[in-house]
């Protein structure tokens, strides 16, 4: 009887651990909860709202505005998953963002082979942006036809965003071009830095950097 009781207790303990594991998938964020991409809901596990669940909405971005965000995952050289960081801690759903004005060689398109210098560009973006806090600058068109955000990624908060010196030093889109990991890709109406970007690409090509070797 004693052995049977011990066996039953062991089974119950295992079941309880499985339940807890299933109830807390992934890491909790700074708000004490996590986002479930399958359900589109956000569940609080800690704090005053523990146990509650909400449906997350997209952050209401505006043209030409700048927002603070965190890089949650890098998809490839010119695309990432971000979450906006708000002053009041309000959670918003994760967003896929395509970097404006640049195009790195393809690595994740199921209909195309991995292109020349694609892996290098993807690894560079992962190394530079993984888990980083960044500033997202919008242009005139904030989303594309796939509902992806379109933005410029600043590694440090810009003080004078129209300064070429500051763009060179702080903007990641510009770094991709200057280091030869991307080519320019200008799509209306997002042309704020198009002339600078053409200049940066020419410099990388003349210096035979990256994909221009």
Torsional class of 201: left (φ above 0), alpha (ψ -120 to 50), beta (otherwise): alpha
Would residue 96 show up in a list of annotated catalytic residues for this protein? no
- Name the residue among 100, 115, 119 with its Cα closest to residue 172: 100
Catalytically annotated residue among 95, 98, 120, 192? 98
- Locate all alpha helices (DSSP H) within the chain, ordered by sequence: 2-23, 118-129, 164-170, 172-178, 194-206
Question: 148 catalytic, yes or no?
Answer: yes
Q: Which of 106, 175, 179, 192 is catalytic?
A: 106
- DSSP H/E element including 55: strand 53-55
Unique residue bearing structure tokens 């919008």: 138
Q: Is 202 an annotated catalytic residue?
A: no
Catalytic residue among 148, 164, 203, 205: 148
Cβ–Cβ < 8 Å for 76, 104: yes
Q: Which positions are catalytic?
A: 98, 106, 148
């Amino acid at each position: 009887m004693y052995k049977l009781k011990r066996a039953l207790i062991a089974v119950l303990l295992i079941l309880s651990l499985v339940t807890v594991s299933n109830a807390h998938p992934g890491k909790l964020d700074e708000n004490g909860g996590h986002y479930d991409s399958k359900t589109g809901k956000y569940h609080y596990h800690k704090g005053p709202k523990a146990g509650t669940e909400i449906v997350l909405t997209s952050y209401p971005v505006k043209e030409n505005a700048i927002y603070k965000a965190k890089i949650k995952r890098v998809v490839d050289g010119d695309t990432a998953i971000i979450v906006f960081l708000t002053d009041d801690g309000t959670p918003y759903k994760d967003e896929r963002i395509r970097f404006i004005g640049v195009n790195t060689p393809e690595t994740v398109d199921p209909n195309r082979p991995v292109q020349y210098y694609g892996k290098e560009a993807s690894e560079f973006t992962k190394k530079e942006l993984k888990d980083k806090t960044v500033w997202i600058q919008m242009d005139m068109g904030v989303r594309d036809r796939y509902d992806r955000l379109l933005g410029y990624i600043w590694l440090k908060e810009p003080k004078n965003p129209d300064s070429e010196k500051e763009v060179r030093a702080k903007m990641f889109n510009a770094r991709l071009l200057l280091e030869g990991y991307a080519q320019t890709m200008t799509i209306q109406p997002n042309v704020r830095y198009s002339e600078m970007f053409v200049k940066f690409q020419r410099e990388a090509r003349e210096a035979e950097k990256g994909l221009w070797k």
